[in-house]
Amino acid sequence: MEHMALSPAMIKVFVLLFLAVTLFVLDWVRVDIVGLLIMVLLPLSGVISAEEAISGFSSNAVVSIIAVMIIGAGLNRTGIMDLLARKIIRIAGKSETRIMVVVSGTVSLISSFMQNIGAAALFLPAVSKICKTLNLSPSRILMPMGFCAIIGGCLTLVGSSPLIMLNDLMKAWWTHNAAALNGAPFEPLGLFSVTPVGVALLLSALTYFILIGRFLLPATPKKEPETCPRLKLVDIYTPILDYALLRVPAHFSPQSLEKLAIGQRFHATVIGIFKKNLPPIFAPDRHTFIEAGDLVAVISSKENLKRLAAELKWNLEEYHHEFTKRSLVPEYGLVQGIVPPGSSLIGNTLEELDFRDRYHANVLALYRGDQVICENIAKQPLRAGDALLIWGPWEKLKKLHKNLDLVFTEVLKGEEEKPKKVIPALICLVGALTLAMVFQVKLSVALLTGALGMILLKVISIDDAYRAVDWMTIFLLAGLIPLGRAFEKTGAAHFIASQIINLAGDFSAITLLLTIGVLTSFFSLVASNVGATVLMVPLSMNLALETEFNPLLAGLTVAVAASNTFILPTHQVNALIMRPGGYRTKDYLRVGAGMSLIYLCVMCAVIYFFY
């Protein structure tokens, strides 16, 4: 192969690539900020024009992803997914293996036309109920479900971000390499072009968990260290912390919670104040006054509660029937909210968010990895994968669900569902797919038609449609698409391909597929699947061109391999199920290593022999 010189434009692109990967790995800033940073630096460095730098926002891929998110939210709002989950439970019976197969298979199908993290989050409450009813460990179900949700994104061309953007990336490469392709026209992949690969991967994953994976999964969720007592707050709720009822003596001078600083002084949380002849105050804010005669409900460890009572000279009372009765009112509930990767909450503390005053809800405990944090929760910077145990009015919890980047593992009472809109929602979904498949309407326009239909038919409001869009993903994608174009335009992709060819010699077709799969899987683990796809598609297609292999199949390999993210809890779905399943990183390494190897082998074999 002819030697290529490294040009100044290539050097700039490689520097920006190194910067992006470094920021992804070190996680100094959010991934969407990385995308925007690259978008700005590309035209400032003179690599591409300003128009090319912002073209990602108008790309077919970005518009398609926005539409898919809205359609998925609309289907969820009708309750059709919950109905489907109940029917699955009825079919699966009491067998752990059968439940795992039916739940995982169904989640993968749902994941083929909505976000995989949305499909997984949808089934979290159902899996929790199944496990409690049948006395099963969630750790035996959630990881197979999560892995199949990721694989489900490979069943259709709209199942994952890498596949949605694949045609755009391949078309851009095709245009720049028209001469080498002898003017052959670009033929985009169809909606179900990837389905044979996805089906084979799904069947292999289910077989893996039936025959091998079930012996590698942890038998029970990992027990939390006893940093906090594990007594019940109320009889129907999950065991959490010890609590006490403290009677304020007659000689006490009225003081606000802010002045008392109970949280800072005693590492305790005031969850309720009961005043004589007045309605109870649940989740009081810092301006609430405590007066003589009040009954104060406090959550903390036994030692801290005793110290609080002794120093403030409040009277520690026995379990109080009035408190139990008032705490069980239908308006209040306990939920677990998980901070997903890329959440705007990451890096902020509850104190900085003014959480309690704004939402009138109490965070009783913070679960992080193998640690249960019960003290100074408000001062802990939040991390991806953190689970917050939140207690408060359903109305406020619903507001939390809408306004904050939290994924709840329980169904929120009072969430407005629209079961009467099931038919209109299905019509919009089928209509969008029909436009794309039968009438060959551009995918973004077809999906946007379905999303708009859901809004016009009032399946979902326009405000909820905006909230349904994961804008972090959108800005990340819009920012990285220009990097892929710069990679190709400057000849950087061709340069890397030539270096690999010169170093490794001639590639066989299967060796090429395995090389592309391994490189893409690695970049997806340490950076993001979107970033890996943008970088690897032009590189892999150049390699394919040099080895006289079909470039379209090389691009398809990249988009499918970008979902091979099972070894670490870096994927959004893996981070989501980590806390509810009680998993540790070594569980992902143990179970995910075999899954990743099978994934690569099956993917390469199907693409090589079937296509």
Tell me the H-state helices in 3-115: 8-26, 31-44, 50-53, 60-77, 80-92, 96-111
pLDDT value of position 560: 97
pLDDT of residue 223 exceeding 60, the answer is: no
Of 119, 82, 85, residue with least CA distance to 102 = 85
* Chain Cα centroid distance, residue 382: 16
Contact 572, 602 (CB under 8 A): no
Question: Nearest-CA neighbor of 297 among 282, 313, 277, 312?
Answer: 282
- Residue 188 has a pLDDT of 92
Read off the pLDDT of each residue in 221-226 and give the average, rounded to a whole number.
Answer: 40
Compare 223 and 334 and report the one with higher pLDDT.
334
Percent of the chain residues past pLDDT 70, beyond the cut: 85
Would you state the pLDDT for residue 484? 77
Question: In whole angstroms, what is the distance from residue 121 CA to residue 409 CA?
Answer: 7
Q: Residues 55, 169: contact at Cβ < 8 Å?
A: no
One-letter amino acid for residue 213 of the chain: G
For the four alpha carbons of 442, 444, 445 and 451, in that order, the dihedral sign comes to positive
User: What are the pLDDT digits (tens) for 523-535?
Assistant: 887 667 887 898 8
pLDDT score of 239:
40
SS3 label, residue 232: strand
Rounded distance between C-alpha atoms, residue 413 and residue 308, angstroms:
34
Residue pair 297/317 in contact by the 8 Å Cβ criterion: no
- Write the pLDDT tens digit of every residue in 459-500: 999 988 998 887 877 887 788 788 877 877 888 877 887 787
Cβ 242 vs Cβ 299: under 8 Å:
yes
Q: Which two tokens stand for residue 381?
A: 């910077």
Kind of pairing, strands 371-373 and 362-368?
antiparallel
In this structure, of 29-43, 222-236, 589-603, the range with the lowest mean pLDDT score is 222-236
- Phi, psi (deg, nearest 5) at residue 598: -60, -40
Residue type, 490: T
3-state helix, strand, coil in the chain (%, to 5): 60, 10, 30
Cα 611 to Cα 607: distance, rounded to the nearest angstrom: 5
Contacts of 517 (CB under 8 A, 6+ apart): 557, 561, 564, 600, 603, 604
Q: How confident is the model at residue 48 (pLDDT cuts 50, 70, 90)?
A: very high
Average pLDDT over residues 216-243: 47
Q: In the beta sheet, which residues pair with residue 53? A: none
At residue 237 the predicted structure's pLDDT band, cuts being 50, 70 and 90, is very low
Residue 3: per-residue pLDDT:
58
The residue type of 416 is E
| Domains of the chain: residue spans and CATH | 242-327 (3.30.70.1450), 335-408 (3.30.70.1450)
Most confident of 72-86, 122-136, 546-560: 546-560
In what helix (H) or strand (E) does residue 205 lie, and over which residues does it extend? helix 195-208
Mean pLDDT of 541-548: 88
